Amino acid sequence: MTQDTLLLGQTLHYHGSPFDIAPQDAARHDTNGAVLIRAGRIAATGSGEGLRAAHPRARIVDYGDRLIMAGFVDAHVHYPQTGIIASWGKRLIDWLNTYTFPEEMRFDDPGHAADTARTYLDLTARHGVTTMASYCTIHPASVDAFFAQAQARGQRVIAGKTCMDRNAPEGLRDTAQTAYDDSKALIARWHGVDRLSYAITPRFSPTSTPQQLDALGQLWTEHPDCLMQTHLSEQTDEIAWVQGLFPEARDYLDTYEQFGLLGEKGLYGHAIHLEPRERARLRDVGAGLIHCPTSNMFIGSGLFDMAGLTGEGQRIGLASDTGGGSSFSMLRTMAAAYEIAQLRHTPLHAAQLLWLATAGSARALHLEDRIGNLAPGMEADIVVLDLASTPDIAQRTTRAETFWEAIFPTIMMGDDRAIAATWINGRQV
Ligand code: GUN
Ligand code: ZN
């Protein structure tokens, strides 16, 4: 039997959604808290004194006044775009054609896929990201590379082969049949193995024929426990393009809905420029809307309606959208979400931002019973934050009178220097 580990420090956990009740009331902060880890899981949380007395044999890791909380969950990334993050561009379609597609073509080389997966998972661990839902490329080997790397690290990840059979360059197109066959084979190989799960992944309706969307809708019917991830209403010119390609469709969402690609386990990235019918349907089915704020500003996409969408009870996750997003950091991502909400005159509380980056994203990924919170029985994916990681932040934190005031400068100004430790599956990485 492995030895128990007891982490001591400030702790933060949630017992409700800070969008349903007053933000501070949804969270519990303990100045002298503790988390007991046993065999990759959180066995107990409580006071430092109490857990120390109850578990005298546990190995102690004392983080002092640092903050122990659930690891960050990034609900929408493209790991293959690691190498082209922060590439100057104009609009989405231009950016895809100029940088993304040429880079994704390189993933026909499994060595390049393995190198990028390793680099991406190393970088994100330094940012305290413990789970992500990633697009891969059209090459099945790009999925194998990502899952194999995550598996070796004991990491919980979601990923899928990106499917595209039109409006993409030669060498980056599959077909309706191969998309179905390859995705099905990957589900058989990886879905439910260790901490890995598969997401059926049509990139977005402009790059799939109706035949391909139909085949993937069929595949989802056969594997309803898989997530399905795609993009929705990110830019206005993209929406106009979709209208031209699908003249019969009622709206963008309908290009998925009519092929069986709308469901509770569907994840719709961006979801900025939504029609009332789309909002109503997304809400009715309980689909996941994934907010990608640094990407939306970087590519100039628009301002996500966080207040309106949470107010109507939508299921929302937060994401970096590497590499359309301009940072791997979920701190930077929360800061961008705050700024976008400010531009809509609907400020977000620190408790809401932290919840979105952990429990909220976990809920969007249907993993809220396993990750995204510090609670007994949850998997031990943990980040430890230094709330005074730079002189800039430290001089502000010393004046803070409440915990929420103390953490907000780290959300707004923090980076990888604020990440004191990352624990994945009960092991520090
Ligand atoms: N829409 C379709 N593909 C992509 C992508 O790779 N990044 C972003 N931001 N939007 C997309
Ligand atoms: Zn994306």
**Which regions in the chain score pLDDT beneath 50?**
none
CA distance 196 to 203: 20
Q: Distance, CA 82 to ligand 1 centroid (Å)? A: 13
* 241 Cβ inside 6 Å of ligand 1: no
Residue 1's pLDDT is 62
Residue 89's pLDDT is 83
**Residue having the nearest C-alpha atom to atom 7 of ligand 1:** 324
Please, which residues have CB less than 5 A from ligand 2, an ion?
Answer: 269, 321
The residue to mutate among 92, 273, 296, 322, having the most atoms of ligand 1 within 8 angstroms of its beta carbon, is 92
Q: Distance, CA 411 to ligand 2 centroid (Å)? A: 23
Atom of ligand 1 nearest to the CA of 301: 9
Q: Distance, CA 283 to ligand 1 centroid (Å)? A: 23
Residue type, 48: G
Task: Give me the helices (H) in 344-389, please.
Answer: 350-355, 361-364
What is the three-class DSSP state of 167?
coil
CA distance 123 to 206: 31
Radius of gyration of the chain (CA): 21
* Whole-number Cα distances in Å, 78 to 161, 281, 308, 325: 11, 26, 27, 10
* 92 Cβ inside 6 Å of ligand 1: yes
Q: Which ligand is nearest to the CA of 290?
A: 2
Calculate the CA dihedral of residues 124, 354, 87, 232 and round it to 10 degrees.
110
What's the length of the chain? 429
What is the DSSP track for 271-302? --S--HHHHHHHHHHT-EEEE-HHHHHHTT--
* 231 Cβ inside 6 Å of ligand 1: yes
Alpha carbon 67 to chain centroid, angstroms: 21
What is the three-class DSSP state of 134?
strand
CA distance 419 to 429: 12
What is the three-class DSSP state of 188?
helix
The residue to mutate among 77, 203, 230, having the most atoms of ligand 1 within 8 angstroms of its beta carbon, is 203
Query: Helix, strand, coil shares of the chain as percentages rounded to 5?
Result: 45, 25, 35
Domains in the chain (CATH in brackets) are 5-71+372-428 (2.30.40.10), 72-364 (3.20.20.140)
Q: Are the C-beta atoms of 12 and 69 separated by less than 8 Å? A: yes
What is the three-class DSSP state of 91?
coil
* 172 Cβ inside 6 Å of ligand 1: no
Q: Which ligand is nearest to the CA of 269?
A: 2
Residue type, 130: T
Residue 10's pLDDT is 98
* 295 Cβ inside 6 Å of ligand 1: yes
Q: Which of 203, 360, 373 is nearest to 289 (CA)?
A: 360
CA distance 12 to 33: 8
* 76 Cβ inside 6 Å of ligand 1: no
Contacts of residues 375-379 at CB distance under 8 Å and 24 or more positions apart, as own/partner, are 375/13, 375/42, 375/45, 376/42, 376/43, 376/44, 376/45, 377/41, 377/42, 378/41, 378/42, 378/70, 379/40, 379/41, 379/42, 379/156, 379/195, 379/425, 379/426
